[in-house]
């Protein structure tokens, strides 16, 4: 197959519609390289309270430069970032991810996110919300929906998550989503609390509901 034919997919790409995820209160859409999603990214990553347990504050110019990279999707669209929007107000309140988990580096290795295959790495679920949306169950709702997508639309057998030991609220979200606490581990070049849920565990939890 010549270069003009495009990449040889190991998996069937999902349509744009299949990547739009809904919950009773939220719509999750793939992050786009446009003004609205750049504004959301700036709102999240320039707020010290939002990134307190995640990373340093990002300069706005750097975020704008990174948008073409962080809007990439891997594994036929299955791996990437979603924006989180409230249905009742139409406001974008945060983001949720399904991405390769960095271990001894402090950020996602975007070279692993390619359309034709799954990343050769552990895959993590994550979320960030603007402060006005905290404490209302939105993080749990978004995280649950991304986990549902992971086990219904991908071949992943396990999804990981990590938190700063001081981020008790995030730990509560992960346990409410059925993830098991696995103790301390390395991630993002530091010592974090690790969480995990396997496909078998998720299916058992679904049957019990």
Query: Domain-by-domain residue ranges, the chain?
Result: 13-208
Confidence of residue 6 (pLDDT cuts 50, 70, 90): very low
Nearest to 133 by CA among 105, 94, 170, 99: 94
pLDDT confidence of residue 1? 33
Q: Which two tokens stand for residue 115?
A: 């359309």
**Average of per-residue pLDDT across 15-34:** 98
How far apart are the C-alpha atoms of 92 and 85, rounded to whole Å? 4
Task: Assess whether pLDDT exceeds 60 at residue 7.
Answer: no
Task: Assess whether pLDDT exceeds 50 at residue 18.
Answer: yes
Question: What pLDDT digit, counting tens, does each position of 161-201 carry?
Answer: 999 999 999 999 999 999 999 999 999 999 999 999 999 99
Chain mean pLDDT for the chain = 94
Edge to edge, the sheet with strand 123-129 lists: 21-22, 26-30, 80-86, 92-100, 123-129, 158-163, 190-198, 180-187
pLDDT confidence of residue 208? 86
How far apart are the C-alpha atoms of 26 and 70, rounded to whole Å? 22
The domain 13-208 having CATH identifier 2.60.120.10: the answer here is: no
Give percent of the chain above pLDDT 70: 95
Question: What pLDDT digit, counting tens, does each position of 36-54 carry?
Answer: 999 999 999 999 999 999 9
Question: What pLDDT digit, counting tens, does each position of 101-122 carry?
Answer: 999 999 999 999 999 999 999 9
């Amino acid at each position: 197959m010549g270069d003009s034919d495009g990449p040889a997919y190991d998996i069937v790409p999902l349509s744009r519609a299949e990547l739009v995820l809904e919950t009773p209160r939220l719509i999750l859409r793939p992050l786009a390289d446009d003004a609205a999603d750049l504004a959301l990214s700036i709102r999240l990553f320039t707020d010290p309270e939002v990134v307190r347990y995640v990373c340093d504050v990002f300069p706005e110019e750097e975020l704008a430069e990174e948008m073409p990279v962080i809007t990439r999707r891997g594994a036929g669209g299955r791996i990437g970032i979603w924006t989180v929007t409230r249905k009742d107000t139409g406001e974008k309140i945060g983001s949720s991810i399904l991405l390769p988990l960095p271990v001894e580096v402090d950020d996602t290795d975007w070279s692993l996110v390619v359309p034709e295959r799954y990343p050769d790495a552990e895959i993590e679920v994550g979320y960030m919300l603007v402060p006005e949306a905290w404490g209302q169950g939105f993080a749990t709702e978004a995280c649950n929906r991304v986990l549902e997508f992971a086990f219904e639309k991908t071949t992943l057998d396990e999804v990981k998550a990590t938190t700063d030991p001081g981020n008790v609220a995030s730990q509560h979200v992960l346990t409410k989503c059925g993830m098991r606490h696995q103790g301390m581990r390395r991630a993002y070049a530091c010592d974090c609390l690790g969480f995990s849920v396997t496909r078998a565990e998720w299916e058992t939890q679904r049957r019990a509901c």
